[in-house]
């Protein structure tokens, strides 16, 4: 018998983890692009606050992703779902 309350919890936290993984990926891509611009002299000055903010956004998204995966994975066996592999989630 499916535990629908746990299935709902699993689904919600899985979605939250996917959203956080996407935000992490976007922040890191923007940080990479900004760093590349600096390296290739396309930017004339380093905006340390902007680079720091991007790194902090990526770190916050990663923390949220790990927390959401933890809750989803606790609910997974109670609703018949597979546990989420964090490495696969980051490459979706």
Q: Which domain holds residue 8?
A: 4-89
Mean per-residue pLDDT over the chain, rounded: 93
Calculate mean pLDDT across residues 74-79: 96
- For the chain, what is the radius of gyration of the CA atoms? 17
Render pLDDT for 4-25 as a digit per residue (tens, 0 to 9): 999 999 999 999 999 999 999 9
Alpha helices in the chain, H assignment, sequence order:
4-39, 48-79, 86-89
Write out pLDDT tens, residues 55-66: 999 999 999 999
44-59 per-residue burial string, b: 16 or more CB within 10 A, e: under 16: eeeeeeeeeebeebbe
Contacts of 14 (CB under 8 A, 6+ apart): 68, 72, 84
pTM of structure: 0.89
DSSP class of residue 44? S
Supply 56's token pair: 């902090």
Structural domain tally of the chain? 1
8 A C-beta contact, residue 73 and residue 10: no
């Amino acid at each position: 018998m499916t535990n629908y309350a746990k299935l709902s919890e699993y689904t919600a936290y899985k979605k939250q983890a996917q959203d956080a993984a996407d935000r992490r990926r976007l922040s890191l891509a923007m940080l990479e692009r900004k760093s590349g611009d600096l390296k290739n002299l396309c930017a004339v000055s380093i905006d340390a606050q902007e680079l720091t903010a991007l790194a902090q956004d990526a770190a916050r998204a990663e923390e949220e992703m790990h927390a959401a995966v933890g809750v989803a994975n606790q609910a997974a066996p109670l609703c018949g779902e597979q546990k989420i592999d964090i490495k696969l989630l980051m490459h979706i």
